[in-house]
């Protein structure tokens, strides 16, 4: 049997090591300055401007690093596409491509991986986003001494961990990937980010995540103490090792996992690290941070909170629903008041994640299917929006909304792409996020009409912040500072084109994603409701 998942994890990890092992070739300061000057003269920092040549070997080294990164990311995507073609959709609710090897036998730790339909779609989403992020960052670090060598190595290292965290079927292995992801993201923000506050933003991100991780570690240890194993398949179900867990203990262990996932998601009130981190990030970093890493939190709620502690879920349903509603409205209201595009998109994501957690804890097949589908579609839509904002920042050298006006007059293609990605963010019918949001509303209404009605406020506010941002930046008289903007280049079209295609295709025909996701979501609902019913009967 081909170890598909191990190959997919190993490929980007090997690429990251290879990049770090390449000889360091520094670009002389004077020539880096010339490169920056050439960029500035090309129209407000245009990403496609002609750059001055660097030192002999310097440019070649930087270009080789980019090509290696792109090559390994595309190879990883091809491996996962090959694996997907062999995925049995008729059995999408069960784990497939399972690998299990003893890792630390004395403590019952295994290297165990496998995917169901939800994990598969999230892994594929991650693998699609990574090469696009590499292309988007192709010229971002040309003014650095190392040409962005470290940044591209960190991208590949992070990709390996993202695949690993979604594929892990050993609770301890999941925790290792969950915590290890913090390291590359910390440096991607703190060292390669934007603005003077990037170090502070990176530290805040790290501290919040570490705090949640430490709480989760206590719960992971508790799972082993009471279950005798870390293997997810042996822990879940009516005959699983945690089936006879004391209700009080189950609730505390549930909280240990949930708090860590709520911070990662992020949910109100543990969300404050995200706007600052996204605002200080390069657009590509923000794509991976919000588009993929935050999904680990909501995925963890589905995979671990729901299925490991089904008896405890019923106790926390309404508190989590309330927090989700606050996140939806709070994130949307704060987005309206933002003057920075990166922070605005970050706040919209807090609102979107509120819809996802609301769908998860409504405990209906439609809501959980919609929530899982929302994770994937949000990754594509918000990833595209961050990338388009990044193209604007590269041209203007600023992310402030007030620094743009009339971009549509000089770069109509760029403005058109910005409009489509914005409309996807507000879940316009015909675009991928719409069906996700619709399923969440249907499932939540079946659970209880009141939360569904309150959540509609978030939909209304989404139209306000998206259309307001588009109007302020793209329409009106052309500001002098944007008059020299160029339209989309060939490379930039390859950055946003695939995501636009996916947003439209899955908006018109979401069935392939639903075929993979729905059986796994229904399994989660059945496990939760059946176990809760059995507990009620026993009482």
The Cα–Cα gap between 322 and 268 comes to 10
The Cα–Cα gap between 206 and 186 comes to 7
Instruction: Tell me the per-residue pLDDT of 407-463, one tens digit each, with 9 for 90 and over.
Output: 888 888 988 999 999 899 888 899 999 999 999 999 999 999 999 999 988 888 888
Output 206-210 pairs: Cβ under 8 A, ≥24 positions apart.
206/182, 208/263, 208/270, 208/272, 208/273, 209/179, 209/182, 209/263, 209/264, 209/273, 210/179, 210/182
Closest by alpha carbon to 469, among 500, 426, 526, 511?
A: 426
Domain span at 194: 4-538
Count of domains observed in the chain? 1
pLDDT confidence of residue 52: 39
Closest by alpha carbon to 54, among 46, 63, 67?
A: 63
The terminus-to-terminus CA distance of the chain in angstroms comes to 47
pTM of the entire predicted model: 0.88
pLDDT confidence of residue 141: 67
Judging by DSSP bridges, how do beta strands 96-104 and 109-115 pair with one another? antiparallel
Contact in structure between 182 and 165 (CB atoms under 8 Å): no
Instruction: Tell me the per-residue pLDDT of 221-271, one tens digit each, with 9 for 90 and over.
Output: 999 988 888 998 888 877 777 878 888 898 999 999 999 999 988 888 888
pLDDT tens digit at each of 539 positions of the chain: 889 999 999 999 999 999 988 876 555 444 444 444 434 333 334 343 334 344 434 444 778 888 999 999 999 999 999 999 999 998 988 899 999 999 988 888 999 999 999 999 999 999 999 999 999 888 776 666 666 788 899 999 999 999 999 999 999 999 999 999 999 999 999 888 887 888 999 999 899 999 999 999 999 999 998 888 899 888 887 777 787 888 889 899 999 999 999 998 888 888 888 888 888 888 888 899 888 888 899 999 999 988 888 888 888 999 999 999 999 999 888 888 888 888 888 888 888 899 999 999 998 899 999 999 999 999 999 999 989 988 888 888 888 888 888 888 888 898 899 999 989 988 889 999 999 999 999 999 999 999 999 998 888 888 888 888 888 888 888 888 888 888 888 888 888 999 999 999 999 999 999 999 999 888 777 556 544 445 444 44
pLDDT confidence of residue 399: 82
Sign, Cα dihedral of 179, 165, 162, 112 = positive
pLDDT confidence of residue 24: 67
Cis (ω within 30 of 0) for the bond into 269? yes
Q: What's the burial of 29, exposed, middle or buried (CB within 10 Å: 0-12/13-18/19+)?
A: exposed
């Amino acid at each position: 049997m081909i170890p598909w998942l191990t190959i997919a994890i190993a490929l980007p990890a090997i690429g990251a090591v290879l990049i770090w092992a390449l000889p360091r070739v520094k670009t002389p300061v004077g020539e880096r300055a010339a490169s920056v000057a050439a960029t500035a003269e090309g129209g407000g920092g245009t990403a496609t401007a002609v750059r001055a040549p660097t030192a002999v070997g310097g440019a070649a080294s930087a270009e080789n690093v980019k090509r290696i990164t792109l090559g390994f990311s595309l190879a990883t995507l091809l491996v996962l596409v090959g694996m997907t073609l062999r995925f049995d959709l008729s059995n999408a609710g069960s784990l497939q491509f399972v690998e299990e090897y003893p890792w630390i036998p004395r403590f019952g730790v295994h290297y165990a991986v496998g995917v169901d339909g939800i994990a598969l779609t999230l892994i594929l989403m991650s693998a699609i986003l990574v090469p696009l992020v590499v292309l988007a960052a192709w010229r971002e670090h040309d003014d650095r001494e190392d040409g962005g060598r470290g940044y591209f190595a960190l991208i590949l290292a992070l990709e390996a961990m993202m695949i690993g965290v979604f594929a892990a079927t050993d609770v301890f292995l999941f925790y290792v990937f969950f915590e290890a992801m913090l390291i590359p993201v910390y440096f991607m923000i703190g060292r390669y980010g934007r603005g003077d506050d990037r170090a502070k933003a990176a530290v805040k991100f790290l501290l919040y995540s570490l705090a949640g991780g430490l709480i989760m570690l206590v719960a992971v240890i508790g799972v082993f103490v009471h279950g005798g194993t870390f293997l997810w398949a042996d822990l879940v179900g009516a005959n699983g090792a945690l089936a006879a867990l004391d209700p009080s203990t189950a609730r505390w262990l549930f909280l240990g996992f949930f708090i860590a996932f709520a911070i990662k998601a992020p949910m109100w009130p543990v969300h404050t690290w995200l706007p600052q981190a996204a605002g200080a990030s390069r657009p590509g970093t923000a794509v991976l941070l919000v588009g993929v890493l935050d999904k680990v939190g909501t995925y963890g709620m589905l995979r671990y909170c729901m299925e490991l502690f089904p008896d405890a879920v019923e106790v926390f349903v309404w508190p989590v629903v309330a927090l989700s509603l606050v996140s939806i409205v709070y994130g949307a209201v704060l987005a309206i008041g933002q003057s920075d595009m990166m922070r605005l998109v970050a706040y919209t994501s807090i609102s979107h994640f509120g819809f996802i957690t609301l769908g998860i804890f409504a405990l209906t097949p439609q809501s959980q299917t919609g929530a899982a589908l929302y994770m994937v579609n949000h990754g594509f839509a918000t990833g595209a929006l961050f990338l388009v904002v990044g193209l604007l920042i590269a041209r203007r050298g600023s992310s402030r909304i007030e620094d743009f006006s009339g971009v549509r007059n000089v770069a109509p293609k760029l403005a058109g792409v910005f409009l489509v990605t914005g409309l996807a963010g507000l879940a316009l019918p015909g675009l991928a996020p719409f069906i996700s949001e619709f399923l969440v509303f249907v499932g939540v209404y079946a659970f209880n009409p009141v939360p569904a009605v309150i959540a509609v406020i978030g939909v209304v506010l989404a139209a306000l912040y998206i259309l307001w941002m588009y109007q302020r930046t793209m329409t009106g008289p052309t500001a002098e500072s944007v008059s020299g903007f160029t339209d989309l280049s060939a490379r930039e079209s390859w950055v946003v084109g695939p995501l636009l295609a996916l947003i439209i295709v899955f908006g018109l025909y979401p069935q392939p994603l639903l075929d993979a996701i729905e059986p796994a979501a229904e399994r989660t609902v059945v496990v939760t409701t059946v176990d809760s019913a059995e507990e009620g009967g026993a009482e």
